[in-house]
Amino acid sequence: MVLTVERLAVQPERVATGARAGQSAGRATLGQAPLALFMVGYTVFGLWLLATPRGV
Protein backbone atom coordinates (compact mmCIF):
# COMPACT_ATOMS: atom_id res chain seq x y z
CA MET A 1 0.00 0.00 0.00
CA VAL A 2 2.72 2.47 0.96
CA LEU A 3 4.73 1.73 -2.17
CA THR A 4 1.70 2.21 -4.44
CA VAL A 5 0.88 5.57 -2.89
CA GLU A 6 4.51 6.63 -3.15
CA ARG A 7 4.59 5.80 -6.87
CA LEU A 8 1.31 7.56 -7.59
CA ALA A 9 2.41 10.68 -5.74
CA VAL A 10 5.77 11.06 -7.48
CA GLN A 11 5.22 9.78 -11.04
CA PRO A 12 3.22 12.70 -12.54
CA GLU A 13 5.83 15.26 -11.48
CA ARG A 14 8.65 13.21 -12.99
CA VAL A 15 6.86 12.93 -16.32
CA ALA A 16 6.13 16.66 -16.31
CA THR A 17 9.78 17.43 -15.57
CA GLY A 18 10.88 15.19 -18.42
CA ALA A 19 8.39 16.81 -20.78
CA ARG A 20 9.75 20.26 -19.93
CA ALA A 21 13.24 18.96 -20.75
CA GLY A 22 12.02 17.93 -24.21
CA GLN A 23 11.70 14.19 -23.59
CA SER A 24 8.73 11.96 -24.28
CA ALA A 25 6.71 10.67 -21.31
CA GLY A 26 8.02 7.12 -21.79
CA ARG A 27 11.64 8.23 -21.94
CA ALA A 28 11.19 10.46 -18.87
CA THR A 29 9.67 7.55 -16.94
CA LEU A 30 12.42 5.16 -18.00
CA GLY A 31 15.10 7.69 -17.08
CA GLN A 32 13.73 7.92 -13.55
CA ALA A 33 13.57 4.14 -13.04
CA PRO A 34 16.86 3.83 -11.08
CA LEU A 35 15.82 6.49 -8.58
CA ALA A 36 12.35 4.98 -8.27
CA LEU A 37 13.84 1.54 -7.55
CA PHE A 38 16.12 3.06 -4.95
CA MET A 39 13.19 4.81 -3.27
CA VAL A 40 11.16 1.59 -3.16
CA GLY A 41 14.11 -0.34 -1.76
CA TYR A 42 14.80 2.33 0.84
CA THR A 43 11.14 2.29 1.90
CA VAL A 44 11.09 -1.51 2.20
CA PHE A 45 14.33 -1.44 4.19
CA GLY A 46 12.95 1.21 6.54
CA LEU A 47 9.72 -0.71 7.12
CA TRP A 48 11.69 -3.92 7.71
CA LEU A 49 13.97 -2.10 10.17
CA LEU A 50 10.97 -0.77 12.08
CA ALA A 51 9.45 -4.26 12.23
CA THR A 52 12.55 -5.97 13.67
CA PRO A 53 12.43 -6.62 17.41
CA ARG A 54 14.79 -4.71 19.64
CA GLY A 55 16.88 -6.65 22.12
CA VAL A 56 16.16 -4.61 25.23
pLDDT digits (tens, 9 = 90+) for 10-39: 666 666 666 666 767 777 777 778 888 898
Q: Is residue 56 part of a domain?
A: no
Cα-Cα end-to-end distance for the chain: 30
Asked if 41 and 30 touch (Cβ cutoff 8 Å), the reply is no
Q: Is residue 38 part of a domain?
A: yes
Distance CA 31, CA 13 (A): 13
The number of folded domains in the chain is: 1
CB under 8 Å to 43, separation ≥6 — which residues? Answer: 2, 3, 6
Confidence class for position 56, pLDDT limits 50, 70, 90: low
pLDDT of residue 6: 66
The residue range of the domain holding 23 is 2-51
Could you tell me the sign of the dihedral formed by the alpha carbons of 3, 40, 30, 12, in that order? Answer: positive
